């Protein structure tokens, strides 16, 4: 049993490498911050595309649905490898785009941003869709009957109500995204997991990796509780037809 | 008499394989109040939705103020066709489920479309909204959200909301069916006032009393066709058709 | 009623998936962090000797489960035969490999592993079986000609290797990219995401010959020695392995394997290289 503590909770090792792991964790947070904003926007964009009405937009709707299906099905790690392994070879793109080094962040950072955005955008689009569909259709009929266009109806009636229904499931997706930033370690982005594994190789001890996990715990746990609270509150509310499934 | 306000010719409407309207012809003159009765599934609500293009018919023509808004099957369903604007700015509709916007106050419900669709200024819209809400007896509820209003009050807001667009025709789709009995009267009174002011109205309803007192014409529909129509005194007191008699017998028994 | 039926369907599906997985893994030994089965590819009978290795790392270890091959693999098979055992290999990730053998996950490690003081804290090493050095690998036609010229550039290495240490210590201001597997670093070089790779010279040479498009800019003579690692205190096994190695060297098997994989004669020094455990 003491071996267990020695392997995972060697405080000396944790102490020695604390600032290193913390720096790495900040890189997880940075990746998260950038990717989550892009994913939220991209997801909304996809969700709105999917809602475009009428026969003439059917191909666009179809494409959007196909995109969402594909990127919810293929594992994020695979997408990550496809991007980091393949994009540099796409010679028709300028080097600056193939191997990005923007704002001082190295290319693994940007490959990870793209992968996370593409995949989580798809998941978030579904959350938005649930929110949109939870807005009673009668209101849309009323708005259209008053002469409001599809765009106006979405903007003034549907989306404002949809976004109040989705914080809980959306937060869940965001938490998932935060945790998935550790996947960037396999393409040599120096975030906390990768650094923890380096300490592991040096010291033959997993405490630094545990430390990285604990940092996630500290950040994610309060957020997860917040989600639980929001779900409870949503269920208790009596709003017209607005109960959403947490995906 | 000038061109009819609304003219429906040979309307057929299908939902998938279900034929809901099987050839309907109606003419409604300006200022006329027409009540449509019938059992559920007879296609009454669908008919209303054909008039304002929420559910355009597969076959038939719809003329509003002489203009054909449905040039052929389904053509009126184009999202950017002029017919849509034309129709929805002339035809107001009130729904059974009120369909108010819950995230807006009563006042805002009535001003929103005025500003966004008609381009009226905030001031103009608010002034008109206030006036209309007062007319329907809700002048003291302007800042209330729909969830604090009773069903009857909500429905009156819905009426005011539709009227704010200065429609030439008002459609009412069983607007009292979802209300508690004690709240029905206030809504019917509002509708009656509207009729007295000369509004052209197409009212789908179960309220026989209202039809008898306010309607210029009563139409009885069943199974996707018009079975009988005529002045209320005739249709309601002395129906010719067997189906009409049956239906009225059932309804009046309530 | 619908919900229970759905739940039942789901349970059946899960069960089906699980049984396929179990059937697929049947026959293999416990999986390690590298996954893959453990198989022998040479002759020799006797009690199995479990050997951990970070596969792939050509030309030392490569191939698929059941079909591993490479200098380390063949050498270890030969040594095992000499001591009456049968080598069975387990793919594992390099950064845990020393801790793993210390914990007894397998009995020995052969993985182009340099003997270092650090590592000796956890394991005991055999006599050296290979003399090595580091190399700087660059894209063909690159203007980089030496380790120093990688200053300030992006440099790929494999996590936990002596190459990584060398790069960290000797290259000023470089952006070090630690990849999980050696070949990942080489791929990154070829795709252009890193400008140089610091890696074991024989591996670099293999990359030049086999995958092409890369060249060695400089060899850095670090005088490294590879050893076979066993858990600390496993003196008996270590003696057996050393004995086996000696015999393999003496009867010419070592030379044969060496020439097969490196197209060179083994250096004289290796035959007399010794290493004091601890």
* Assigned token pair, A26: 């900040």
Enumerate domains of chain C plus CATH numbers: 2-129+227-271 (3.40.190.10), 133-223 (3.40.190.10)
- State the nearest Cα–Cα gap between A101 and chain C, in angstroms: 10
Q: Which of A88, A186, A200 sits opposite C193 (nearest CB)?
A: A88
A61: helix, strand or coil: helix
> Does residue A136 contact residue A55 with C-beta atoms inside 8 Å?
no
Reported as type and span, the H/E element at residue A94 is none
Q: What is the pLDDT of residue C93?
A: 87
**Mutation for testing the A interface, residue in C185, C187, C191, C213 having most A CBs under 10 Å:** C191
> Does residue A212 contact residue A193 with C-beta atoms inside 8 Å?
yes
Measured CA to CA, the distance from residue A143 to residue B109 in angstroms comes to 10
Residue C159 or residue A240, greater confidence: C159
Q: Which tens digit of pLDDT belongs to each residue from B182-213?
A: 889 889 999 999 999 999 999 999 888 899 99
Q: What is the pLDDT of residue B70?
A: 67
Q: Which of C118, C175, C192 sits opposite A99 (nearest CB)?
A: C192
Q: Which of B54, B103, B165 sits opposite A160 (nearest CB)?
A: B103
Q: What is the pLDDT of residue B248?
A: 82
- To the nearest whole number, what is the mean pLDDT of chain C? 86
Grade residue B252 by pLDDT with cuts at 50, 70 and 90.
Answer: low
Grade residue C51 by pLDDT with cuts at 50, 70 and 90.
Answer: very high
Residue B82 or residue B219, greater confidence: B219
Domain count within chain A? 1
Say which range, C21-35, C62-76, C177-191, C256-270, has the weakest mean pLDDT. Answer: C21-35
Q: What is the pLDDT of residue B2?
A: 56
**Mutation for testing the A interface, residue in B45, B56, B85, B103 having most A CBs under 10 Å:** B103
Predicted ipTM of the assembly: 0.86
What torsion, rounded to 10 degrees, do the Cα atoms A77, A82, A87, A88 define?
Answer: 90
Grade residue C196 by pLDDT with cuts at 50, 70 and 90.
Answer: very high
CB pairs under 8 A between A and C: 54
Q: Which of B54, B102, B113 sits opposite A240 (nearest CB)?
A: B102
Q: What is the pLDDT of residue B68?
A: 77
- Evaluated on CA atoms C92, C95, C96, C101, the torsion sign reads positive
- State the nearest Cα–Cα gap between B134 and chain A, in angstroms: 20
Q: Which tens digit of pLDDT belongs to each residue from B213-239?
A: 999 999 999 888 888 888 988 888 888
A124: helix, strand or coil: helix
Mean pLDDT of B77-84: 55
Using the predicted structure, report yes or no on whether residue C100 has a pLDDT greater than 50.
yes
Using the predicted structure, report yes or no on whether residue A151 has a pLDDT greater than 70.
yes
Say which range, A1-5, A164-168, B35-39, C112-116, has the weakest mean pLDDT. Answer: A1-5
CB–CB contact C187 A85 (8 Å): yes
Q: What is the pLDDT of residue A121?
A: 97
Grade residue A167 by pLDDT with cuts at 50, 70 and 90.
Answer: confident
For helices A76-86 and A107-134, the axis angle rounded to 10 degrees is 140
Q: Does B155 touch chain A (CB under 8 A)?
A: no
Using the predicted structure, report yes or no on whether residue C2 has a pLDDT greater than 90.
no
Using the predicted structure, report yes or no on whether residue A60 has a pLDDT greater than 50.
yes
Contact residues, C window 44-63, toward A, CB-based 8 Å cutoff: none
- To the nearest whole number, what is the mean pLDDT of chain A? 89
Q: Which tens digit of pLDDT belongs to each residue from C128-142?
A: 999 999 999 999 888
Contact residues, C window 174-213, toward A, CB-based 8 Å cutoff: 175, 177-180, 184, 187-188, 191-193
Grade residue A245 by pLDDT with cuts at 50, 70 and 90.
Answer: very low
Mean pLDDT of A206-233: 90
Q: What is the pLDDT of residue B93?
A: 94
Q: What percent of chain B is predicted at pLDDT more than 90?
A: 38
Q: What percent of chain C is predicted at pLDDT more than 70?
A: 90
The CA-to-CA distance between both ends of chain C, in Å, stands at 69
Say which range, A88-92, C235-239, C247-251, has the weakest mean pLDDT. Answer: A88-92
Using the predicted structure, report yes or no on whether residue C156 has a pLDDT greater than 80.
yes
Q: What percent of chain A is predicted at pLDDT more than 70?
A: 94
Q: Which tens digit of pLDDT belongs to each residue from A103-143?
A: 888 889 999 999 999 999 999 999 999 999 999 999 999 99
CA A150 distance to own-chain centroid: 29
Identify the residue whose tokens are 């009673």.
A136
Reported as type and span, the H/E element at residue B19 is strand B18-28
A245 domain residue, yes or no: no
Give ∠ CA C5-C8-C9 in degrees, rounded to 5. Answer: 90
Domain assignment of residue A153, given as a range:
2-240
Grade residue B58 by pLDDT with cuts at 50, 70 and 90.
Answer: confident
Measured CA to CA, the distance from residue C254 to residue C270 in angstroms comes to 10
Q: What percent of chain B is predicted at pLDDT more than 70?
A: 92
A116 domain residue, yes or no: yes
B52: helix, strand or coil: coil
Q: Which tens digit of pLDDT belongs to each residue from A174-203?
A: 999 999 999 999 988 989 999 999 888 888
Largest CA-CA distance found in chain B, in angstroms, rounded: 55
CATH number reported for the structural domain that contains residue A129 in this entry: 1.10.3720.10
Q: What is the pLDDT of residue B174?
A: 92
Q: Does C111 touch chain A (CB under 8 A)?
A: no
Q: Which residues of B touch A60 (CB under 8 A)?
A: none
What does B146-210 look like in DSSP terms, one character per residue?
A: GGGS-HHHHHHHHHHHHHTT--SEEEEESTTTTS-HHHHHHHHHHHHHHHHTT-EEEEE-S-HHH
Residue C109 or residue B80, greater confidence: C109
Grade residue A235 by pLDDT with cuts at 50, 70 and 90.
Answer: low
A91 domain residue, yes or no: yes
Q: Does C102 touch chain A (CB under 8 A)?
A: yes
Contact residues, C window 127-146, toward A, CB-based 8 Å cutoff: none
Q: For B27, phi and psi rounded to 5 degrees?
A: -130, 135
- State the nearest Cα–Cα gap between A147 and chain B, in angstroms: 5
Q: Which of A70-84, B64-78, B222-236 has the highest mean pLDDT?
A: A70-84
Q: Which of A98, A108, A201 sits opposite C159 (nearest CB)?
A: A201
Using the predicted structure, report yes or no on whether residue C40 has a pLDDT greater than 60.
no
Measured CA to CA, the distance from residue B209 to residue B200 in angstroms comes to 19
Q: What is the pLDDT of residue A62?
A: 94
Using the predicted structure, report yes or no on whether residue C27 has a pLDDT greater than 50.
no
Using the predicted structure, report yes or no on whether residue B1 has a pLDDT greater than 50.
no
A19 domain residue, yes or no: yes
A58 domain residue, yes or no: yes
Q: Which of B79, B99, B101 sits opposite A150 (nearest CB)?
A: B79
Measured CA to CA, the distance from residue A34 to residue A27 in angstroms comes to 11
A247 domain residue, yes or no: no
Q: What is the pLDDT of residue C24?
A: 58
Q: Which tens digit of pLDDT belongs to each residue from B153-170?
A: 999 999 999 999 999 999
Mean pLDDT of A223-234: 84
Residue B86 or residue C257, greater confidence: C257
Using the predicted structure, report yes or no on whether residue B73 has a pLDDT greater than 60.
no
- State the nearest Cα–Cα gap between B223 and chain A, in angstroms: 25
Using the predicted structure, report yes or no on whether residue C147 has a pLDDT greater than 80.
yes
* Assigned token pair, B114: 């005025």
Listed in sequence order, the residues at least 6 apart from C117 whose beta carbon sits closer than 8 Å to its beta carbon are: none
Supply the pTM of this predicted model.
0.78
Mean pLDDT of B103-113: 93
A217 domain residue, yes or no: yes
Contact residues, A window 99-138, toward B, CB-based 8 Å cutoff: 136, 138
Q: Does A151 touch chain B (CB under 8 A)?
A: no
């Amino acid at each position: 049993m003491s071996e267990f503590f020695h392997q995972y909770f060697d405080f000396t090792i944790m102490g020695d490498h604390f600032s290193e792991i913390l720096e790495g964790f900040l890189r997880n947070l940075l990746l998260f911050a950038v990717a989550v904003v892009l994913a939220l926007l991209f997801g909304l964009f996809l969700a709105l595309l999917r809602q475009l009405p009428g026969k003439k937009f059917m191909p666009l709707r179809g494409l959007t649905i196909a995109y969402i299906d594909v990127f919810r099905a293929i594992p994020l790690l695979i997408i990550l490898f496809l991007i980091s392994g393949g994009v540099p070879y796409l010679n028709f793109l300028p080097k600056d785009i193939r191997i990005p080094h923007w704002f001082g962040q190295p290319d693994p950072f940007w490959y990870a941003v793209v992968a996370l955005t593409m995949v989580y955008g798809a998941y978030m689009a579904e959350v938005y869709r649930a929110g949109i569909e939870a807005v009673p259709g009668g209101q849309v009929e009323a708005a259209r009957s008053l002469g409001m266009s599809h765009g106006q109806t979405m903007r003034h009636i549907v989306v404002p109500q949809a976004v109040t229904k989705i914080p809980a499931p959306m937060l869940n997706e965001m938490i998932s995204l935060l945790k998935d930033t550790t996947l960037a370690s396999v393409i040599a982005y120096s975030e906390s997991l990768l650094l923890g594994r380096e300490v592991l190789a040096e010291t033959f001890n997993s405490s630094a990796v545990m430390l990285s996990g604990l940092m996630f715990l500290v950040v994610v746990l309060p957020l997860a509780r917040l989600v639980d609270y929001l779900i409870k509150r949503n269920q208790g509310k009596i709003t017209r037809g607005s109960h959403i499934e947490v995906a | 008499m000038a061109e009819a306000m609304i003219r429906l010719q040979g309307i057929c409407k299908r939902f998938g394989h279900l034929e809901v309207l099987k050839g309907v012809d109606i003419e409604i003159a300006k200022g006329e109040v027409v009540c449509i009765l019938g059992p559920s599934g007879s296609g009454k609500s669908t008919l209303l939705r054909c008039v304002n293009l929420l559910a355009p018919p597969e076959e038939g023509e719809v003329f509003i103020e002489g203009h054909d808004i449905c040039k052929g099957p389904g053509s009126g369903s184009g999202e950017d066709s002029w017919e849509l604007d034309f129709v929805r700015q002339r035809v107001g509709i009130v729904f059974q489920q009120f369909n108010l916007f819950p995230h807006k106050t009563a006042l805002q419900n009535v001003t929103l479309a005025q500003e966004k669709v008609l381009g009226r200024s905030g001031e103009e819209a608010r002034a008109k909204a206030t006036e209309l809400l007062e007319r329907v007896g809700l002048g003291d509820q302007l800042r209330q959200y729909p969830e604090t209003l009773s069903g009857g009050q909500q429905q009156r807001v819905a009426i005011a909301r539709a009227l704010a667009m200065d429609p030439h025709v008002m459609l009412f789709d069983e607007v009292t069916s979802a209300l508690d009995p004690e709240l029905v009267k206030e809504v019917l009174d509002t509708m009656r006032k509207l009729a007295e002011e000369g509004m052209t109205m197409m009212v789908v309803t179960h309220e026989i009393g209202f039809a008898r007192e306010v309607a210029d014409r009563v139409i009885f529909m069943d199974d996707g066709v018009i079975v009988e129509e005529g002045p209320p005194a005739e249709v309601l007191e002395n129906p010719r058709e067997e189906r009409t008699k049956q239906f009225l017998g059932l309804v009046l028994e309530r | 009623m619908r919900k229970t039926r759905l739940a039942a369907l789901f349970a059946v599906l899960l069960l089906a998936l699980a049984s396929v997985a179990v059937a697929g893994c049947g026959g293999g030994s416990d999986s390690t962090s590298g996954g893959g089965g453990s198989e022998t590819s040479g002759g020799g009978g006797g009690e199995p000797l479990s050997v951990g290795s970070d596969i792939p790392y050509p030309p030392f270890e490569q191939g698929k489960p059941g079909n591993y091959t490479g200098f380390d693999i063949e050498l270890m098979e030969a040594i095992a035969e000499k001591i009456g055992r049968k080598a069975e290999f387990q793919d594992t990730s390099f950064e845990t490999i020393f801790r793993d053998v210390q914990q007894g996950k397998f009995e020995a490690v052969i993985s182009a592993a340099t003997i270092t003081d650090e590592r000796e804290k956890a394991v005991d090493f055999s006599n050296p079986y290979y003399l090595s050095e580091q190399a700087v690998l660059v894209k063909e036609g690159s203007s980089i000609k030496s380790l120093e010229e990688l200053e300030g550039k992006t440099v790929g290495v494999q996590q936990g290797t002596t190459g990584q240490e060398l790069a960290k210590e000797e290259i000023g201001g470089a952006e070090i990219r630690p990849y999980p597997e050696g070949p990942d670093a080489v791929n990154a070089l070829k795709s252009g995401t890193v400008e140089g790779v610091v890696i074991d010279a024989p591996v670099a040479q293999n990359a030049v010959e086999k995958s092409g498009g890369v060249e060695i800019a400089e060899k850095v003579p670090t005088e490294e020695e590879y050893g076979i690692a066993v858990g600390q205190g496993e003196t008996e096994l270590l003696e057996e392995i050393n004995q086996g190695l000696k015999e393999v060297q003496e009867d010419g098997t070592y030379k044969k394997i060496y020439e097969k994989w490196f197209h060179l004669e083994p250096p004289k020094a290796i035959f007399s290289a010794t290493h004091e455990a601890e």
